[in-house]
C-alpha cells in the first residue's frame, strides 16, 4: 500500500530534521534528553489536537512543525501552527510561552516563523535550523 500524501511529507520532514541534527521519535518513545535537539512526532496538546512535531532543545520545548502534503499553500497554515505554540500543557519544560519557533512544511517546501522577531512573520527556509542555532 502506498503511503498517504501527508505520511510521505512526514517521511521527508524526518529526513530533513535528521540531516539538521535532530533526534526524531514518536511521542510514545520520547526522551527529551536523548539529544540536544529532539523532534517528537504527533505530540498531544489537550484542547488543541496534535502537533505534527514538537521540538525540544536542551530538554525544553522550543517550537512546532505543522506538516502538510506537498502542494498545499503553506502561508495559510501559519494560523494552525500558532494555536500549537500557544497550547503547551502546564508543567512541561519550555523556553517560553508561547513557544518561540514554528515551521510549516510539506517536506519539499518549508516556512519558518520566529516569534522573537519584533514583527513575526512566516518566511521560506531551505532546511530546518540546527538545534544549536535554536538554543542561541
Work out the mean pLDDT of the chain and round it to a whole number. Answer: 92
Burial class (CB within 10 angstroms; exposed 0-12, middle 13-18, buried 19+) of 69:
middle
Query: pLDDT of 14-29, one tens digit each?
Result: 999 999 999 999 999 9
Q: Residue 133 — pLDDT band, cuts 50, 70, 90?
A: confident
Percent of the chain with pLDDT over 90: 76
Query: Rounded mean pLDDT of 35-61?
Result: 95
φ/ψ of residue 101, rounded to 5: -125, 140
Amino acid at each position: 500500500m502506498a503511503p498517504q500524501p501527508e505520511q510521505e511529507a512526514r517521511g521527508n520532514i524526518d529526513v530533513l530534521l535528521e540531516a539538521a541534527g535532530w533526534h526524531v521519535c514518536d511521542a510514545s518513545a520520547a526522551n527529551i534528553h536523548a539529544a540536544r535537539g529532539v523532534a517528537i512526532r504527533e505530540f498531544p496538546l489537550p484542547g488543541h489536537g496534535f502537533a505534527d512535531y514538537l521540538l525540544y532543545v536542551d530538554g525544553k520545548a522550543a517550537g512546532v512543525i505543522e506538516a502538510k502534503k506537498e502542494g498545499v499553500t503553506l502561508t495559510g497554515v501559519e494560523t494552525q501552527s500558532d494555536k500549537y505554540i500557544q497550547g503547551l500543557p502546564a508543567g512541561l519544560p519550555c523556553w517560553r510561552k508561547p513557544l518561540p519557533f514554528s515551521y510549516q512544511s510539506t517536506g519539499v517546501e518549508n516556512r519558518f516563523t520566529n516569534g522573537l522577531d519584533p514583527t513575526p512573520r512566516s518566511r521560506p527556509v531551505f532546511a530546518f535550523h540546527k538545534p544549536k542555532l535554536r538554543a542561541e
